[in-house]
Structure 1
């Protein structure tokens, strides 16, 4: 019987991701465990893991040593990041970790991680590789069309996201954002695509889903769809940028029917649970890849709607 222990970093509130990995291990009759780490002992997902540990901050000089010791002690075979900052850090130290432990790190190479973490660099990558992009600028210029969108050049979510109707409003709003990016405002249907490859970048599966309701940049209501042109575009992008593991690709279909790529998050997304429920459990695929088992990718359920909500858990303060 195999033992594939999985370490999820910055586990925070990713309860369903923890549960999906535990379900995958049980389905494979694998003796491995799911270990969660976070800097906050009151992170809800910690209490759904088989084991957990409180870790140093990512910017601490002790973090890498902590991670290495934990991976060796617990015989971790897979490290899964859940934040953009984790992706960048682990990409930088990927070779070191994989050489000194038995863990595979589900992150792309550092050059790819840097492109994905910077919206303007990503825009330039799309242009250089003839992929459909949303026009973007780093400063106010005469080429900007209105209305336009203003947000942070790095980071996920949309806590600071503004729409400027003209140049005067843009001049005011841009002062609210550090290191901003200005983008053409697109109307249409917004998609997130859970795109999965093996560790060599070979395509295995994807599930497109429409973002029906978005709050602070995160999909709260979504529905699975099957559109071949989106599948083809994602494969083209992923092949050119060299994605590995689970990724979330975002794109728009404009009112004229054309597709435009927004960004790539090379990690699990908060709403990736919809793809698991639709029949494409990428945590299961990861366990199978590590154990050299065959992956049978079945058709996913189209038209499956996800309604997300929060749930309370209770822990004893004296434990």
Structure 2
């Protein structure tokens, strides 16, 4: 087993979690960190580093050469901008004996397009926050974000209509959503190849920096379990996903967006029992996933992300 983590960058916790998952299946498994930049931090933590081409169709032939050279058996994309590329190549690469662990193209497209995602119908008590291409009179305060890609990019938060319109001038494709006061949560989940939810955990995003949780804490919210399950399965997602939501003062759950990939702080999900990377690799090897236990942690777990040093 040789697993490529593409766009590995400085994602050391993800790289290490992937290594642990692979070694549980094969003691000689190797993890290859791939990135189009060089140098990157992850190259010092992987078994091998591949300075790979950008993930686009014009580089497809060069990428296939590299996959063969490094004898890649599995690919785990980790960046929103590459999900569609790998999903489009999923069937062709499978014929070459390479498993790409990513959702289907149409699902990824829906999750990447926040305007389209906001149109989906859900349970009345599990609302997706509306999204507008132009602000109207429906809200006093707005959140302004890019319609496509990472939601935290150039985010404008709690803005008046005039402030929102001014902020939008700095964006490529602005999207407006009503600002909802409440507690933000993330849901780390994993769904099998038939889009059946195996397990999920909720966590508070206590401190967020550059769109990723620096301090997170698991929280037990069973009252939302059925709604979360229904929504994720309705989307036909597979593998690791992260759902972002806000709980308002009336305990109403408002869905912000869904990332069809492993999240920046999803290692906390693994620690709390959602063994998503292991389940993905195991399923790809025809292991009966239903026989693998999901045992969520009973105690609260707090995760703190911090910088560290490595000396060589």
Tell me the distance in 2 between the aligned counterparts of 1:130 and 1:109. Answer: 27
Q: How far 1:95 sits from its partner (Å)?
A: 1.9
Shift of 1:60: 6.2
Supply the distance in 1 between the matched residues of 2:157 and 2:273 (Cα, whole angstroms). Answer: 37
Q: Which residue is 2:75 aligned to?
A: 79
Question: 1:164, 1:173 within 8 Å by CA — same for their partners in 2?
Answer: no
Whole-Å Cα distance in 2 between the matches of residues 240 and 60 of structure 1? 30
The aligned counterpart of 2:279 is: 285
Aligned partners of 1:132 and 1:260 also within 8 Å: yes
- Which residue does the alignment assign to 2:27? 30
| Structure 1 counterpart SS, 2:265 | coil
User: Aligned Cα RMSD in Å?
Assistant: 2.1
How far apart, in 1, do the equivalents of 2:278 and 2:170 lie? 42
Q: Which residue of 2 aligns with 1:123?
A: 118
Distance 2:299 2:65 in 1: 43
Residue 296 of structure 2: aligned partner: 299
TM-score with structure 2 setting the length: 0.91
The Cα of 1:165 is off from its aligned counterpart by 4.3
Displacement after TM superposition at 1:127 (Å): 6.3
TM-score (norm 1): 0.90
Compared with structure 1, are the counterparts of its residues 51 and 25 closer, same or farther at alpha carbon in structure 2 (3 Å cutoff)? same
Unpaired runs of 5+ in structure 2?
A: none
Please give the per-residue CA displacement for 1:271-315, whole angstroms capped at 9, x wherever unaligned.
011112223322222232233334122222431001111223356
**Deviation of residue 242 (structure 1)?**
0.2
1:116 Cα deviation from its structure 2 partner: 0.4
Alignment of 1:183-262 (within 5 A): 183-262=177-256
Q: Secondary structure at the match of 1:158?
A: coil
Matched, 1:265 2:259: yes
What does residue 19 of structure 1 align with? 16
Alpha-carbon distance in structure 2 between the residues aligned to 1:151 and 1:286: 31
In the alignment, what sits opposite 2:88?
92
- 1:130 is displaced (CA, Å) by 9.2
Q: Is the 8 A contact 1:14 1:45 kept in 2?
A: yes
What SS does the aligned partner of 1:176 have?
coil
Question: Aligned partners of 1:112 and 1:29: how far apart in 2?
Answer: 31
The aligned length equals 309
